[in-house]
Amino acid sequence: MNEDPVAAPPTGVTLVGDIGGTNARFALWRDERPQAVQVLACADYARPEQAVLDYLQRTGVPVSAVSAVCLACAGPVGAADFRFTNNHWTINRQAFCAELGLRHLLLVNDFTTMAWAASRLGPEHLVQVRPGIAQPDRARLIIGPGTGLGVGALLPLEAGRWAVLPCEGGHVDLPVTSERDFLLWQALRERHGHVSAERVLCGSGLQTLYELSCALDGTPPRATRAEDVGALALAGDAQADAVLEHFFHWLARVAGNAVLTLGALGGVYVTGGIVPRFLERFQRSGFAEAFAARGKTSGAYLAEVPVWVMTAEHPGLYGAGIALEQALARHA
C-alpha cells in the first residue's frame, strides 16, 4: 500500500519503521511526518534487512542515500540482538548497519513510539471515549491490543518536554473480578499455564475468548478468526457481541490498573489494531464505567481520568520519527 509518495532527497534520507508481529510499516521521515508509507508482511521476508531493501527499491530511494533509521519493534529493546516477540525476525545492530551502510540506527519499543506520537497528535487524530480532566503535569498511559498487548507511558519534564517510559505491561497477570472472569481464567490457565493480560487482549486472545465463551455457554462457535468474531458482533450475533463487550471490559480493568500504578492522571490513549477498528462499538461499550468501577479509594482516583482512542493512521511511524529527531538532536 502506497501513501503520499515523495521524491527522495539525494542524501541524508531518514527512514522510519513500525514492525509488529504481522506487518512492517515503513516510511520516509520528512517535514516532521511520515511520507511514502508502505505496509509489508513480515512473513514474506526472512530478515528485516530484506524488507527494508525491498521498501527502498519500491520507493526508488538508493540505499546509499539513507543515513539514519529508527525502527519501532514489538518487544523489549536492550543492548543485545533484538528478537521480535511475535515474529521470526532478529536484528543484530552491527550487521544491520553494515548491510545498509547506516551511520545511525535507533531501535525502540513499539509502544515507546506510540507514546511519542501521543505527545504531539492533535484533536483531529483523537476520539474521546471517556470524559475527564487531564492533569498536564502527570504521566499519560498508552495502551493498545493488536497482535499483542502494548503498554507505554509518557512522562512530563520541564519546559514542555517529555520522556518516554517503555515497559512490558501487557504481560501483567489478567485481573479476575467476577465469576465469569474466574471461569474463563480457569479455562485459560488449563490451556496456557500462566494467564497474562495479553492472553486475552490481542487478536488471537479475542478468538480464544470467543471459543472459551462458546464452550461455557454450550453455543456452537461460528467464527474461527478474530476478525470473524468482530464481524459477527457488528452484524448482531449475541454471542460474539457479548465476547467483544467482555474484551472491552477486561481492557478497561487492565488500563485502570496501569493508571493506578503509574499515576497516569494525564489521561489514557488507546491504540493498536483492534479498538480503532470497532470504534463505534467501543464507544457504546461499558469500558468507561468498568475503568473506574472498583474500590472506594481507587475508583475516586480514576473518576476524572479521560480516555481517547488514537485514530491517526500510522501513529507508530509518527512516533518513530519523533524518537529519531530526539536521538539525532542529542548527538548533534
Three-state SS string over 72-103 comes to EECCCCCCCCEECCCCCCEECHHHHHHHHCCC
Torsion of CA 267, 245, 183, 198, to 10 degrees: -50
Other C-beta atoms closer than 10 Å to the C-beta of 85 total 18
3-state secondary structure of 196: strand
d(CA 60, CA 41): 19
d(CA 140, CA 106): 23
Superfamily for domain range 13-110+314-331:
ATPase, nucleotide binding domain (3.30.420.40)
**DSSP category for residue 128:** E
Residue written as cell 496456557? 192
Please give the pLDDT value at position 154: 93
Phi-psi region of 267 (alpha: psi -120 to 50; beta: other; left: phi over 0): left
Please give the order of strands across the beta sheet that includes 162-166.
Answer: 126-130, 307-310, 268-270, 140-145, 149-156, 162-166
d(CA 72, CA 49): 14
Q: Which three cell numbers stand for residue 289?
A: 464505567
Question: Is 19 annotated among the ligand-binding residues?
Answer: yes
Question: Is 20 annotated among the ligand-binding residues?
Answer: yes
Residue 164: φ, ψ to 5°: -105, 135
Please give the pLDDT value at position 79: 67
Residue of 5, 11, 16 lying closest to 325 (CA atoms): 16
Question: Is 322 annotated among the ligand-binding residues?
Answer: no
Q: Are 170 and 198 in contact (CB under 8 A)?
A: yes
d(CA 91, CA 78): 11
Please give the pLDDT value at position 253: 97
CA 234 to chain CA centroid, nearest Å = 23
d(CA 282, CA 167): 25
Q: Which residues contact 78 (CB under 8 A, 6 or more apart)?
A: none
Q: Which residues contact 84 (CB under 8 A, 6 or more apart)?
A: 19, 21, 73, 74, 75, 90
Q: Which residues contact 258 (CB under 8 A, 6 or more apart)?
A: 141, 143, 151, 169, 172, 264
Chunked mean pLDDT (size 10), the chain, 332 residues? 37 85 91 93 94 96 93 78 81 92 88 87 93 95 91 87 86 96 97 96 96 97 94 96 98 97 96 93 96 90 96 90 84 63
Domain ranges (residues) in the chain? 13-110+314-331, 122-310
Phi-psi region of 284 (alpha: psi -120 to 50; beta: other; left: phi over 0): alpha
Question: Is 17 annotated among the ligand-binding residues?
Answer: yes
Please give the pLDDT value at position 87: 79
- Domain spanning 122-310, CATH class: alpha beta
Residue of 118, 103, 26 lying closest to 309 (CA atoms): 118
